[in-house]
């Protein structure tokens, strides 16, 4: 059972409730483009996950079959409780190393790029975490935790972490000592020097208390959310490759071959001395911190919101098909979604090429639909082509009608 798929409606109900709480309390924890960008990275992650999740599943299953020391039964309740706690322990180290090593941070940084903190931030997930994350859970396979139990507790751990991404819930008393709560997870998402690289636990905060990475949220130091190398973009594809590109550039620039190799596995932020001297990187002054934003008209926002809703529906449909899809079908769907979200990001950034990209996207939609039919993803039906034609004509009218302000960005 795909628990994440069934949880999606509840995610959006809770986001709606948080927006109502914003209004009731007279605060604003959401910005339109930032929320769309966070949700876009989430949709991108789930659709590409249909292709990449096989990496973790296969490696775990093989380790369980051939390296398992014990035969634990999914029929025993204690096995589930043990696995739930053990998974969070492994998650702690996966999460911690995700902050402490360059190549792992390149994947995990996606989740931290939002300069807001709300429930949409929880859905902001990486598409490349599959490359190394599977390594951290192999101890569970070696101990003998069955794959079904592993997959279930993994989903439960992820679902738990959704609710802690809010600014509306204060400290929760004695629970702060045991569980990851909104308060101590706000610390985790802050870029304040005092708060950085703290509070890694997924469900239990006790790991941070044991291993010395706990930091309490302080009233006298409000959290400033985001990363010290700002994304400054609403593009979900760029969000996923930004830090990889930075590492690649530094590796190419480095004179030493040893530096070219080790930069990927050094502590986060490490750069070869010659590269750092020649290409210095300035960090933002948090005392004058300004969130990245791009002015948009109401018509532009409505257009982007409607288009995103369609890709959200497409991504959810792909997630629903899940294991019944072939690799070719999953690939067509993932590329279709990825290109659409890229175009929406360009629209939100008010780029000069945004209209041209939208025209190209509408044309390529017909190509993707033809491919979807060719690989058996959907049945050939005339109504699909008529629906696509109607949608494209309406989109064209809005593209050329929607007023656009002059491009402007702040960072």
Work out the percent of the chain whose per-residue pLDDT is above 90. Answer: 88
Dihedral sign, Cα of residue 110, residue 124, residue 348, residue 369: positive
Task: List, as one string, the DSSP characters of 310-379.
Answer: HHHHHHHHHHHHGGGS-HHHHHHHHHHHHHHHHHHHHHHTT-TTHHHHHHHHHHHHHHHHHHHHHTTSS-
CA pair distance 289, 224, nearest whole angstrom:
8
Find the mean pLDDT for residues 269-278: 96
3-class DSSP state for residue 293? strand
What CA–CA distance (Å, rounded) separates 400 from 41? Answer: 27
Contacts of 239 (CB under 8 A, 6+ apart): 37, 41, 110, 113, 231, 233
Under DSSP, is residue 126 helix (H, G, I), strand (E, B) or coil?
A: coil
Query: How many Å apart are CA 338 and CA 345, to the nearest integer?
Result: 11
Do residues 55 and 133 touch, judged by C-beta distance below 8 A? no
Return the DSSP state at 174.
G
pLDDT, mean of residues 214-240: 96
Query: DSSP 3-state assignment of 409?
Result: coil
Contacts of residue 276, Cβ cutoff 8 Å, sequence gap at least 6: none
Please choose, from the candidates 11, 317, 367, the residue with its C-alpha nearest in 3D space to the C-alpha of residue 163: 11
Name the pTM for this structure: 0.93
Predicted confidence (pLDDT) at residue 26 exceeds the cutoff of 60:
yes
Report yes or no: 407 and 352 within 8 Å, Cβ to Cβ.
Answer: yes
Helix-then-strand count for the chain, H and E: 16, 0
As given in the structure block, the two tokens for residue 153 are 């507790």
Pair 167, 118: CB distance under 8 Å: yes
What is the CA angle 342-345-348, rounded to 5? 155
Inform me whether the pLDDT recorded for 1 exceeds 70.
no
Confidence band for 378, pLDDT divided at 50, 70 and 90 = confident
Distance CA 20, CA 14 (A): 10
pLDDT at 406: 56
Name which of 347, 242, 259 is nearest 302 in CA terms. 347
- Average pLDDT over every residue of 329-336: 94
378: phi then psi, degrees, rounded to nearest 5: -135, 155
Q: Tell me, what's the pLDDT at 322?
A: 82
Enumerate residues 6+ apart whose C-beta is below 8 A from 304.
Answer: 32, 33, 36, 296, 344, 347, 348
Average pLDDT rounded to a whole number, residues 33-49: 97
Assigned token pair, 309: 């809703």
- pLDDT tens across 349-376, in order? 999 999 999 999 999 999 999 999 999 8
Q: Helix, strand or coil for residue 250?
A: helix
Q: What is the DSSP letter of 270?
A: -
Written as six digits, the tokens of 364 are 């390529």
411 pLDDT higher than 50: no
Q: How confident is the model at residue 287 (pLDDT cuts 50, 70, 90)?
A: confident
Which residues have CB under 8 Å from 29's CB, separation 6+?
A: 18, 22, 116, 117, 118, 166, 167, 168
pLDDT, one tens digit per residue, over 84-95 is 999 999 999 999
């Amino acid at each position: 059972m795909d628990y994440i798929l069934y949880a999606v409606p509840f995610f959006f109900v809770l986001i709606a409730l948080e927006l109502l709480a914003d209004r009731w309390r007279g605060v604003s924890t959401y910005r339109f483009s930032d929320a769309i960008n966070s949700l876009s990275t989430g949709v991108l992650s789930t659709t590409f996950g249909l292709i990449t999740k096989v990496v973790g599943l296969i490696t775990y299953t093989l380790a369980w079959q051939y390296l398992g020391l014990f035969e634990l039964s999914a029929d025993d309740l204690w096995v589930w409780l043990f696995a739930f706690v053990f998974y969070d322990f492994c998650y702690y180290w996966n999460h911690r190393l995700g902050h402490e090593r360059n190549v792992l941070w390149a994947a995990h940084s996606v989740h931290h790029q939002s300069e807001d903190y709300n429930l949409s931030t929880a859905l902001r997930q990486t598409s490349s975490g599959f490359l190394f994350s599977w390594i951290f859970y192999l101890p569970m396979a070696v101990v003998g935790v069955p794959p079904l139990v592993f997959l279930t507790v993994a989903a439960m751990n992820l679902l738990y972490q959704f609710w802690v991404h809010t600014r509306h819930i204060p400290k929760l008393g004695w629970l702060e000592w045991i569980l990851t709560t909104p308060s101590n997870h706000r610390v985790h998402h802050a870029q304040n020097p005092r708060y950085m690289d703290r509070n890694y636990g997924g469900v239990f905060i006790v790991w941070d208390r044991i291993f010395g990475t706990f930091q309490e949220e302080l009233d006298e130091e409000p959290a400033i959310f985001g990363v010290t190398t700002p994304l400054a973009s609403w593009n979900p594809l760029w969000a996923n490759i930004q830090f990889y590109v930075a590492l690649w550039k530094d590796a190419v620039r480095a004179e030493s071959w040893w530096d070219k190799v080790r930069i990927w596995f050094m502590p986060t932020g490490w750069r070869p001395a010659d590269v750092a001297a020649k290409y210095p990187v300035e960090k933002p002054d948090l005392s004058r911190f300004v969130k990245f934003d791009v002015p948009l008209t109401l018509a532009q926002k409505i257009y982007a919101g409607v288009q995103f809703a369609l890709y959200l529906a497409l991504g959810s449909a792909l997630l629903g098909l899940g294991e019944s899809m072939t690799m070719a079908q999953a690939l067509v769907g993932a590329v279709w979604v990825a290109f659409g979200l890229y175009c929406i990001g360009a629209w939100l950034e008010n780029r000069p090429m945004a209209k041209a990209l939208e025209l190209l996207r509408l044309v390529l939609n017909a190509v993707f639909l033809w491919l979807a039919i060719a690989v058996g993803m959907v049945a050939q039906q005339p109504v699909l082509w008529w629906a696509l034609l109607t949608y494209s004509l309406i989109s064209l009218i809005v593209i050329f009608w929607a007023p656009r302000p002059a491009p402007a960005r702040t960072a």
